[in-house]
């Protein structure tokens, strides 16, 4: 079985994003970038499936600027076998990503695509579902457990009411939640080996996709600072403030 794992280059989760002075977006210059944490979980799950003998090859794919090579190399250092970079310099929207990934799937013919449920920069939570729709594949989103057996995948999903177990017929799409696993750190020897693993470069035009954005960001603002709380003397005063000041009653 071949597994395809899309990985996205985002601002490091430990860095506090800053809005540009003109409000046109988030400042990316001289900011530490890293692999999207949910995609790290996806890479780890693919590696565990390979270690369990359920998969033979793991292909990491990223869509973004030339620097996204570093993100793919991280996946290769963790244990992926080869990488594909679809070079796109402008911001890529979820539907465009899904269309490009469909092109990669048609080319590579994997039996399983594992990707993060969302990216921590746009929080869209759309790409996996859109890809499943474009391919006509079954999908298991928000996975906290994945079991592969006999051409089927049993996925435990995290939903509002608790857990839901679904059985999918392969090929399938799985999106990862936080509790699926704990990603490993890439060792220094594996980081060195990753430099020699194959990494192909493609363009959006190779898949017949126009990457131009359909949405325009009018303005980006930082959220307002949280206001300090206050103490009330009794329940009557609390109800009064909730009704007349907060307007929630």
Which distant-in-sequence residues (6+ apart) come within 8 Å of 83 by Cβ?
A: 59, 60, 61, 62, 69, 72, 73, 75, 76, 197, 198, 199, 200
Which pTM does this prediction carry? Answer: 0.88
Q: Which domain holds residue 169?
A: 2-244
Mean pLDDT on 218-232: 85
pLDDT digit string, tens, across residues 119-174: 999 999 999 999 999 999 999 999 999 999 989 999 999 999 899 999 999 999 99
Class of residue 5 by CB neighbours under 10 A (exposed 0-12, middle 13-18, buried 19+): buried
Residue 95 placed within a domain: yes
Residue 108 placed within a domain: yes
Asked if 83 contacts 75 with a C-beta cutoff of 8 angstroms, the reply is: yes
How would residue 10 be classed by pLDDT, with cut points 50, 70 and 90?
very high
pLDDT of residue 249: 72
Residue indicated by tokens 């949910």:
38
**32: region left, alpha or beta (phi > 0 left; psi from -120 to 50 alpha):** beta
Which domain CATH number covers 204? 3.40.50.620
pLDDT digit string, tens, across residues 93-110: 999 999 999 999 999 999
Total Cβ atoms within 10 A of residue 35: 27
pLDDT digit string, tens, across residues 79-93: 999 999 999 998 899
Count of structural domains, the chain: 1
Residue 195 placed within a domain: yes
Highest mean pLDDT among 14-18, 26-30, 87-91, 132-136: 132-136
Residue 249 placed within a domain: no
E-strand stretches of 45-204: 57-64, 82-87, 112-116, 138-149, 152-159, 162-169, 172-176, 199-203
Residue 8 placed within a domain: yes
Q: What SS3 string covers 37-68?
A: HHHHHHHHHHHHHHHCCCCCEEEEEEEECCCH
């Amino acid at each position: 079985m071949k597994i395809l794992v899309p990985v996205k280059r985002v601002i490091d989760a430990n860095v506090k994003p800053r809005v540009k002075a003109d409000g046109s977006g988030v400042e990316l210059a001289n900011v530490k970038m890293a692999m999207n944490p949910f995609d790290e979980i996806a890479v780890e799950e693919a590696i565990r499936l390979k270690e369990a003998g359920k998969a033979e090859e793991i292909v990491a794919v990223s869509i973004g600027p030339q620097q996204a090579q570093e993100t793919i190399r991280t996946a290769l250092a963790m244990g992926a076998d080869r990488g594909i970079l679809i070079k796109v310099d402008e911001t890529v929207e979820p539907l465009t990503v899904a269309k490009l990934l469909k092109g990669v799937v048609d080319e590579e013919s994997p039996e399983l695509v594992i990707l993060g449920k969302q990216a921590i920069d746009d929080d869209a939570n759309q790409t996996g579902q859109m890809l499943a729709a474009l391919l006509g594949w079954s999908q298991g989103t928000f996975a906290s457990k994945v079991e592969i057996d006999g051409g089927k995948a049993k996925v435990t999903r995290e939903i509002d009411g608790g857990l839901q177990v679904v059985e999918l017929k392969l090929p399938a799409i799985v999106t990862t939640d936080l509790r699926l696993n704990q990603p490993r750190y890439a060792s220094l020897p594996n980081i060195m080996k990753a430099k020699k693993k194959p990494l192909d470069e493609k363009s959006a035009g190779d898949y017949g996709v126009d990457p131009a954005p359909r949405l325009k960001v009018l303005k980006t603002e930082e959220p307002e600072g949280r206001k300090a709380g206050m103490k009330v003397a009794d329940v009557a005063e609390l109800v009064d403030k909730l009704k007349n000041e907060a307007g929630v009653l």
